[in-house]
A and B are shown apart, each in its own frame.
Chain A
Amino acid sequence: MSLELASEVGNVVLQAGEAGGPALSELGAAAIAVGLAAFGAGYSQRAIGAAAVGAMAENEDLFARGLILTVLPETLVILALLVVILLL
């Protein structure tokens, strides 16, 4: 599956190369950067969210603290956005 995808991507890159421009436009690269940052944030939120819900299940007063800790990794996405905006 992933191999097929890789060769597919290779074809696309080759075709783009024939046309003369870079394989990835600046906008495309920026999109990938934000996407990867968001993926990282999501991955870390999986664990934090699970732990926060667990803590809330035991003690409802922890809702605010759990929420803050859960959204902390969002700063990653904000940073990525910032970098992209500065570069574009």
Chain B
Amino acid sequence: MSTTGSSNPEYVNARVRARRAALFSDDEYRKLVRMTPSEIARYMEESEYEREINELGSRHSGVDLIEYSLNRNLAKHFNDLLGFSEGRMYDLIARYLRKFDAWNVKTIMRGVYSGADRESIETDLIRAGEFDESFLDRLLEASTIEDVITSLDGTIFGDPLEAALEDFEETDVLVPLENAVDRTFYEELLADLPSSEAIDLYREFLEAEIDFRNARNALRLARSGADIDPAEYFIEGGRLFNARELEGLVQSPDQLVSTIRDSSYGRELSGPLDELEDADSLIAFERALESVLLKYSRRLGNVYPLSICPVVAYILMKEREVENIRAIARGREAGLSEAEIEGELVIL
């Protein structure tokens, strides 16, 4: 499809809503929590995931089967989104789905760096972004990090990665390269968005996403007490922090929490923040951030139905479904109790 011509928000929105209705409900998650991995696979076979489970059933089994079917189904739906959207709509959806291009690039770099074989890297890719099959195959054939970066020349990741290559060669850790990928993704996401009422609110939503990401990274750094420069992980574009502020806040977690509490997100996050101060676990807070973001996107989608908003809400909900089912399957495999698994889920 092309990015020129008029967009078709009505058509895309109708299809997205139908697919949204097919997602697992919260009751179904509670049912899944009580199943063993093979029962989950069988349950999935009778749902949305029938085709993927059947296709992959001969090659994988158990939790791997669940995980790969989830990824493949996710990729199928998101590719469909790109397939039936046009014009401005396509442009905005593609920008958001580049998240998976960034994921794939990072996965391939990590795989090459750790010397994993091609097949095992390939199974971890999520083919949902803008890169097509042949391009990903070319990336997979690369045997060194330099080769990967050369192949990426011409994509949005090409130049920033080349700039970060020097850093990588000096330190021999992947962090600068991965940060370059993440930053490029968010820069492109926010770069010259058109101006309309719906898009302005969409931009606010993206800024909230970036803020949450920064807050999560900062809290993780503060909790782990690791001696890492927080500015390295900082993503530009949010409203809540700037790089220098964040550096100071990581030193004192209490101040960080109170900054978040005083911000415009304070009202939604006050419950989870209280919990965070009482308990010492970040997991609940991170899940709360995700569910606040999810609710935010859903509300936007209801306010502006004929825009990118409901599509992004659907993308987030689908991702949540995949993560939840994966968490359930992995949790059951590891023998976690039902209560522990439910703590890992994002349920609205």
Residues of A within 8 A of B (CB): 47-48, 50-55, 57-59
Contacts and interface: CB of A to CB of B under 8 A. Distances in A.
B interface residue count range (under 10 / 10 to 19 / 20 to 34 / 35 or more)? 10 to 19
Contacts of B306: 47
Interface of B: 8, 10-15, 17-19, 84, 306
A57 B17 CA distance: 12
A55 B10 contact: no
B56 to A, nearest CB: 24
Nearest to B8: A50
Nearest to A48: B10
Contact of A58 (B8, B10, B19): B19
Contact of A50 (B10, B17, B19): B10
Contact of B10 (A54, A57, A59): A54
B5 to A, nearest CB: 14
Given A48-B10, A50-B14, A51-B14, 20 more contacts: A47-B10, A47-B306, A50-B8, A50-B10, A50-B11, A51-B11, A51-B13, A52-B14, A53-B11, A54-B10, A54-B12, A54-B14, A54-B15, A54-B18, A54-B84, A55-B14, A55-B15, A55-B18, A58-B15, A58-B19
B15 to A, nearest CB: 4
A27 to B, nearest CB: 36
A54 B8 CA distance: 10
A72 B77 CA distance: 31
Nearest to A53: B11
A62 to B, nearest CB: 8
21 contacts: A47-B306, A50-B10, A50-B11, A50-B14, A51-B11, A51-B13, A51-B14, A52-B14, A53-B11, A53-B14, A54-B10, A54-B12, A54-B13, A54-B14, A54-B84, A55-B14, A55-B15, A55-B18, A57-B15, A58-B14, A58-B15
